Amino acid sequence: MSVRDVLPWVADALVVLALAVMTIGVYGLRRMPDVYTQLHATSKAVFLGVIAILVASMATLEPAVITRVALITVFLVLTTPVAAHAIALAAYRLREPMRTPGAIDESGRGLAGAARDEERRRRAAGVEPGWRVVVGYDGSEQANRALERVAMLAGEDAAITVVTAGAILPESPVAPDRAVVEEGEERQRVLEEGRARLAELGLRAEAVEAFGDPADALMDVAREIGADLIVVGTRGRTVTTRVLLGSVSAKIASQAPCDVLVVR
């Protein structure tokens, strides 16, 4: 009884094990209630089955096979957890609820348990209390309307951040004048105006001054504070933004990390 005699049986056993585990994995994907638990089925069960079959196919002891199998195995071992993590991260971002009874969501996003049920119940049109809202404000009429909309929709403890971005546009043939919102003081004044208006409408807000491209600045702030909603007007105040025809809101609407409200 040499090693060569035993190997086929070992390979057999591995294959049978792999089949069983992969079947459990596929069935698990079907039966698991949410993405987070489905991840276990694929990145643990099915993955284990695949590795077992790969190892089993090494039983022929050919160097060509062994090198290839080793390569695939190393690659899968390194990347399967990363892929699973990417999916989990996206699930958090997209607010996928956790549907298993004992789940605990520590991120404060209300994805599990009582918080989740309550949030679902409060999903009337509008911004729920506890949501974080970022409003782009440049003093224009559009921006003021955006503020009014936020005031209409916001719950009492929504955390609102007003952002004014000074765009630093390169000199262009279309718009020879440079900044969208001009000097620092002017920007501060606009911000204070925004905050005052919100205060008039009965809401507290934080004011943030941001630099660079308005769309990117707004999205950066939103990402930083983990915002749930970005509110922008369609068009701006100065010549340049009017000429650009609402490119800020378009860019934000397509690339934002969260919901976007464009106020006309």
Partner 1 sequence: MHTVVFYVAVLWMTVLLAASTLLVIRARSILSRILALDMLVLILVALLALLSDLLGVPYFLDAGLVLALLSFTATVAATRYHREGKVFS
Binding positions for partner 1, rule: CB under 8 A = 8, 11-12, 15-16, 18-19, 22-23, 25-26, 29-30, 35, 38-39, 41-42, 46-47, 49-50, 53-54, 56-57, 59-60, 62, 64-65, 68-69, 71-72, 75-76, 79-80, 82-83, 86-87, 89-91, 93-94, 96, 254-257
Cα–Cα dist 175/169, whole Å: 9
Minimum Å gap between C-beta 85 and partner 1 is 9
Residue (40 or 145) nearer to partner 1, CB: 40
Minimum Å gap between C-beta 46 and partner 1 is 5
Label residue 211 exposed, middle or buried (CB < 10 Å: 0-12, 13-18, 19+).
Answer: middle
Rounded to the nearest angstrom, the gap between the alpha carbon of residue 263 and the centroid of all alpha carbons in its chain is: 23
Minimum Å gap between C-beta 142 and partner 1 is 22
Return the DSSP state at 112.
B
Structure tokens at 138: 């440049």
Residue (187 or 251) nearer to partner 1, CB: 251
Minimum Å gap between C-beta 49 and partner 1 is 7
Cα–Cα dist 127/142, whole Å: 20
Rounded to the nearest angstrom, the gap between the alpha carbon of residue 156 and the centroid of all alpha carbons in its chain is: 25
Cα–Cα dist 34/100, whole Å: 8
Residue (71 or 239) nearer to partner 1, CB: 71
Minimum Å gap between C-beta 31 and partner 1 is 11
Partners of residue 98 on adjacent β-strands: 112
